[in-house]
Structure 1
Amino acid sequence: MTFDYAPAPESRSVVDIAPSYGLFIDGEFAPASDGKVFKTVSPSSEEVLSEVAQATGDDVDRAVTAARKAFEKWSALPGAERAKYLFRIARIIQERSRELAVLESLDNGKPIRESRDADLPLVAAHFFYYAGWADKLDHAGYGANPRPLGVAGQVIPWNFPLLMLAWKIAPALATGNTVVLKPAETTPLSALFFADICRQAGLPKGVVNILTGDGSTGAALVAHPDVNKVAFTGSTDVGKAIARTVAGTDKKVTLELGGKAANIVFDDAPLDQAVEGIVNGIFFNQGHVCCAGSRLLVQESVQDELLDALKRRMQTLRVGDPLDKNTDIGAINSAEQLARITALADAGEAEGAERWSPSCELPSAGYWFAPTLFTGVTQAHRIAREEIFGPVLSVLTFRTPAEAVEKANNTPYGLSAGIWTEKGSRMLWMANKLRAGVIWSNTFNKFDPASPFGGYQESGYGREGGRHGLEAYLNV
C-alpha cells in the first residue's frame, strides 16, 4: 500500500541570502580585483539565488599571502588553543544547522531530509572530532612534535558542499595549517556562510580564506608557488590535471576522485535489507556521490526476486521539491550534469540494455531525472564502465564469489564497494579481494569522522577522516 503525503515544505525564511557576496580574504569580504561576478541558481527552480565574486589570479595571490601571514601565529598556538576554535565552530554549526540545511538544499538541489539529517550532523561531527585531535598530535603515530605544512589550497565539489568543506578544513586547522578554499562554482553559498561562522567564532584573520570562482580560480590556487598542500575532491579528469600541475614540486597532494562502486548481493543476503541498501547506495543525493553503488552485482539465483522487490521500492520514491520533507530524490545540480546523465542513459539503451523507471511526474522547471534501472547490462556497456554521477543503476549478475570479485574489480576506479551476505567468512574473503578503499558489509554509505575514506587507481590517493586524515597536513 502506498501512502499519499501532503506537501510539507521547510520554510525558506530561516535563511537570509544576500543579493551579492564578495571573496573572504584575511577575515573580510571584498569584491574580486576586476569586479567580475557570476550567478548561482537553485537547480530545482532555476531561480537566481545570488551573485558571487569571480576570483582572479591576483585574488588568489592576496588570499595565499593572507594565509601565509596568519600561519606564523596560528601554527604557534598550543593544540588545546586551536581546539577551542574548532569546538566553537562545531557548536555554531549545530546552532545554525537548520539555516545551513535549507541553504544547502536551495543551492545544491538535495532533499532537505538529507541535508538536515545526514550532511549537517556530519559537518559538526568532523569539527568536533578534529578538535579532539588538535592537542594529541604527538600521539597520532606520526612521531614526536609533528609540524604543519603551511598553507593548504583546497578545492571542493558541488555534491556535498558543506561536508566536503568540513573534511578539508577541520584537519587542516587542527594540525596548525591555514587554508585557502575554493568551493564549486554551482554551490558557493554554504562556504560563504561558513566564512561568517569563522568570524562568529572569532577565528584569527587569514586562517581561513574562501575564494569563489570557476575552474580557472582553482587552477591558479593549485599552481600558486606558496601553497604547500593541495587537497581536491572532484572528477578524475580534473584530478589528473592537478597531479600534472604539482608534479616536480614539493607540494603534498591528496586526491579523492570518481568511482564506479559495485554493490554485491549474494543469495543468502537479507533481501529486504539489501533493497534498502541498494536504494540508499545509488539514489541518495540523486546519485551525486563519488562512492555511489552504481553497479549492482546480484547472484543469478536471486536476481528475479531482488529486482521485483527493488522495482516495488523504486515506485515509492518521491521526486520533487528539495525543501519538501517528504522528498526522496531532489534536483540534478546543473543543466550540464543533467545533460551528461541523459547522454549516458541514452547510450545504455542504444547499446542494448533494458531501461526501466517508475512512473514519475517531474516538475516543469529545474533540472530533473527520474530514478532509473538498467538490466541486461554487460561489462562492455558504457553505463557499466563510466561514472554517471546520477540516479542510474546498472545491474549485472554473477554465479560464484570469484566471478563477483572479477566483475567488481573490472574498473579503473577503486573507491568503495558493498557486500551483502550473512556469512562473515565470505564477507572478509571478499573484502580482501576487492580493490576498493572503503568496503561496507550489509549496509552502504555509512560515514564516521573517525573512519578514513579514500581510493585507489583512478579514484585518487590519500585518505580523509580518522587519524589517517591528519597525515596529509603534517610533516611526517
Structure 2
Amino acid sequence: MSYPANAASVAASTAQSWLAEPGDTDVSLIINPATEQTIATYRNASAEEVNAAVVRAYAARTSWGRTPPSERAELLLKIADAVEQEAEEFAVMESKNTGRPITQSRDEMPWAWDVIRFCAGAARLSHGPAAGEYANDSTSWMRREPLGVVGLITPWNYPLLMAAWKLAPALAAGNTVVIKPAELTPLTTIKLVDLMSRFLPDGVVNLVLGDGRAGQAIVEHPQVRKIALTGDVSTGRAVAAAAAATLKRTSLELGGKAPVLVFADSPVAQTARDLAEFGFSATGQDCTAACRIIVEEAAFDEFVDAYVAEVEKIRVGNPDDLGTTMGPLISERQMKRVEGFVDRARAEGASIRTGGERLARDGWFYAPTVVTDVGQDSEIVQHEVFGPVVTIQRARNDDEMLEWANGVDYGLSASVWTTNLARAMRFTRELEFGTVWVNQQIFTAAEMPFGGFKNSGYGKELSGIGLDEYSQFKHVMVKAELAP
C-alpha cells in the first residue's frame, strides 16, 4: 500500500501486508472523494487469506477467553489512551478517506475512545439472577462466556467509530475477532488494528481487506460463531441467509429513514437551525440523519422558509478547510444514486426548494437539497437516499404525523420536536424506532443501547446489552448430595 506525503501514516507492520504490487489484478483503490485522486491501493484478500485470519483467531480464542476480565479491561484502557493520544492522525486520515470536514472528524474522535473505555469497565461487571437454590435442592448460577471467533463487517460512512463500536465489546467479552472494513474506507481501521496489536496477544485481532467476497468468506466460515454487520438492508438479508447455514448468530445494524416530527409549539427558528445540521452532517450519509421531516400544518410555511434559509448557509467545500461544514459524497456511485432519487422526484412533481444538482467542481459534491410536495408513498420518502437530501411533508394533526412517521419499512431512529411533555411521552411510546430523541438528533451514549426495529435490523450495540450480544450464557446447576 502506498500513501502520499500529505496523508496520515499507517504503521507498516499492518499496512505492508496488503501492499499492491506490480502485476496484482485483484485490487481495490482508496480514493479521496474531494479530489477523485487515488491515495492508496491494496490487494483484496483471497479466500485462503480469510481462512488464515480465522485460523489465527481460532487458535487464540481459548487463551484470550480465559484472560481475567480485569486484565482485558486494563488492555482496553491502554488502547483507549493510545487512540486519544493519536487522535489527530486518526482525524486527518478519516477526513481524507471519507471526505468529512476535518472539524467534524475531530469532533467525532472522543466517541471512539469513550466506547472503548466503557466496554473496559463493562467487562468487569456480571449480572443476572443471584446464585441460589431455585429447584431440586440444587444451587444454580450463571456463567457469561465468550462466543469464540466473531466476524465484524463495518461500513464506509463512519469507519473508525463503527470499528470501535464492534471491536470494544467483542474483545471485552473475551472473543477473538476478524474485522473487515468497507473497501472504500479502510485506512483508520488499519491504523486501529495496528494500534491494538501493540497491546493484545497475537491472533486476538485480525484484519482482512477486500470487497464483498471477503465478507462472504467470513460469514460462511464454520469457525466464526457470530457476525456483526453495519450495512444496507440488502447486504443484511444476504448475511442473515448465509449465516443460517452454520447457525451462527448475527447482529445487523442496517438502513434508516428517520422521521423528524416538528410541532407548531416548538421554537421554529431554533428547530430549523438544529435540523439543518442534523440533516446534512456527514453529507447526509448517516442512517440516523434527520432526512424525513414531517411538520404540523400550522407551522409548515414558517418552518420551510426558516429551514431553507439555514440550509443555504451550509458551506460546501474542501474537507481541509476549517470553514467547510459539508464535504463530498463518498463515491461516484453514491453521487449517481443521489442524483437519481432527486431527478425522479422532480419528474413526479416534487418541488426542489434549494439545491438539486451536482456542483461544478472536482470531487463528488452535491448541493444540499430540500424537497417538498412529496407524497407519503413516493420513493424519496419511503427509501433511504443516503445523501444530502431532506424531504419535508405537511401533516394535519398528531395522528397523521404518527401514521406517516411509522409508515416506512425502517425502524432505526426518530425525533420529536415539541415543548408539550404529554405529546412527547405519547410519541416516544408509539414511534416504532429503536432510538427516539426529543428536541435533538444523532447523539447517543455508550451506556445506552443502539439498534433498530423492522428492516433496520436487529441486535444492539453499546451498553451492557451490546456486550451481551457477544456473549453466551450458561446455567450451572449443582446438587451437592447424591440421593441414596
TM-score range, shorter chain: over 0.9
Equivalent position to 1:51, from 36, 41, 45: 41
Once the two structures are superposed, residues 362-416 of structure 1 have per-residue CA deviations (whole angstroms, 9 ceiling, x without a partner) of 4621111110000111112110111000010011111211111100011011101
CA shift for structure 1 position 31:
5.9
Distance (Å, rounded) in 2 between the aligned partners of 1:469 and 1:273? 34
Equivalent position to 1:37, from 6, 27, 37: 27
CA shift for structure 1 position 78:
0.4
TM-score scaled by length of structure 2: 0.91
Letter in 1 for 2:211: D
2:170 matched to which residue of 1?
A: 172
CA shift for structure 1 position 147:
0.3
1:128 matched to which residue of 2?
A: 117
Which secondary structure state, in structure 2, belongs to the residue aligned with residue 467 of structure 1?
A: helix
Once the two structures are superposed, residues 273-330 of structure 1 have per-residue CA deviations (whole angstroms, 9 ceiling, x without a partner) of 3113311321010000011121100001111111111111112110011121211110
Which secondary structure state, in structure 2, belongs to the residue aligned with residue 187 of structure 1?
A: coil
Q: Structure 1 stretches of 5 or more lacking a match?
A: 1-11
Tell whether the 8 Å contact from 1:360 to 1:370 is kept in structure 2 after alignment.
yes
1:283 matched to which residue of 2?
A: 280
CA shift for structure 1 position 339:
0.6
Which secondary structure state, in structure 2, belongs to the residue aligned with residue 45 of structure 1?
A: coil
- Tell whether 2:184 aligns with 1:186: yes
Distance (Å, rounded) in 2 between the aligned partners of 1:251 and 1:141? 29
Letter in 2 for 1:216: R
Identical amino acids, percent of aligned pairs? 38
2:155 matched to which residue of 1?
A: 157
Tell whether the 8 Å contact from 2:74 to 2:120 is kept in structure 1 after alignment.
yes
Tell whether the 8 Å contact from 1:138 to 1:145 is kept in structure 2 after alignment.
no
- Tell whether 2:422 aligns with 1:429: no
Distance (Å, rounded) in 2 between the aligned partners of 1:426 and 1:47? 50
Distance (Å, rounded) in 1 between the aligned partners of 2:314 and 2:19? 43
Which secondary structure state, in structure 2, belongs to the residue aligned with residue 60 of structure 1?
A: helix
1:3 matched to which residue of 2?
A: none
Once the two structures are superposed, residues 189-213 of structure 1 have per-residue CA deviations (whole angstroms, 9 ceiling, x without a partner) of 111111221133x211111111110
Letter in 2 for 1:458: N
Tell whether the 8 Å contact from 1:153 to 1:181 is kept in structure 2 after alignment.
yes
Distance (Å, rounded) in 1 between the aligned partners of 2:129 and 2:29? 43
Largest Rg, 1 or 2? 2
- Tell whether 2:474 aligns with 1:464: no
Distance (Å, rounded) in 1 between the aligned partners of 2:242 and 2:272? 43
Aligned Cα root-mean-square deviation (Å): 2.3
2:64 matched to which residue of 1?
A: 74
Once the two structures are superposed, residues 125-150 of structure 1 have per-residue CA deviations (whole angstroms, 9 ceiling, x without a partner) of 11011011111134699973300001
Tell whether the 8 Å contact from 2:179 to 2:208 is kept in structure 1 after alignment.
yes
* Aligned positions of 1:236-251 closer than 5 A: 236-251=233-248
Tell whether the 8 Å contact from 2:357 to 2:366 is kept in structure 1 after alignment.
no
CA shift for structure 1 position 51:
1.4
Tell whether the 8 Å contact from 2:197 to 2:205 is kept in structure 1 after alignment.
no
Distance (Å, rounded) in 1 between the aligned partners of 2:158 and 2:126? 28
Tell whether the 8 Å contact from 1:300 to 1:399 is kept in structure 2 after alignment.
yes
Distance (Å, rounded) in 1 between the aligned partners of 2:412 and 2:248? 23
Q: Structure 2 stretches of 5 or more lacking a match?
A: 132-140, 474-484
1:110 matched to which residue of 2?
A: 100
TM-score scaled by length of structure 1: 0.92
Tell whether the 8 Å contact from 1:74 to 1:207 is kept in structure 2 after alignment.
yes
Which secondary structure state, in structure 2, belongs to the residue aligned with residue 374 of structure 1?
A: strand
Letter in 2 for 1:46: E
1:440 matched to which residue of 2?
A: 437
Report the CA distance shift for 1:110/1:146 in structure 2 as closer, same or farther (over 3 A).
Answer: same
Once the two structures are superposed, residues 67-97 of structure 1 have per-residue CA deviations (whole angstroms, 9 ceiling, x without a partner) of 0111111111000000111101111110010
Distance (Å, rounded) in 2 between the aligned partners of 1:276 and 1:189? 33
Tell whether the 8 Å contact from 1:314 to 1:371 is kept in structure 2 after alignment.
yes
Distance (Å, rounded) in 2 between the aligned partners of 1:244 and 1:360? 38
Equivalent position to 1:373, from 370, 390, 402: 370
Letter in 2 for 1:129: F
CA shift for structure 1 position 247:
1.8
Which secondary structure state, in structure 1, belongs to the residue aligned with residue 463 of structure 2?
A: coil
Tell whether the 8 Å contact from 2:19 to 2:41 is kept in structure 1 after alignment.
no
Tell whether the 8 Å contact from 2:10 to 2:191 is kept in structure 1 after alignment.
no
CA shift for structure 1 position 419:
0.1
Distance (Å, rounded) in 1 between the aligned partners of 2:273 and 2:230? 27
- Tell whether 2:87 aligns with 1:97: yes
Which secondary structure state, in structure 2, belongs to the residue aligned with residue 146 of structure 1?
A: strand
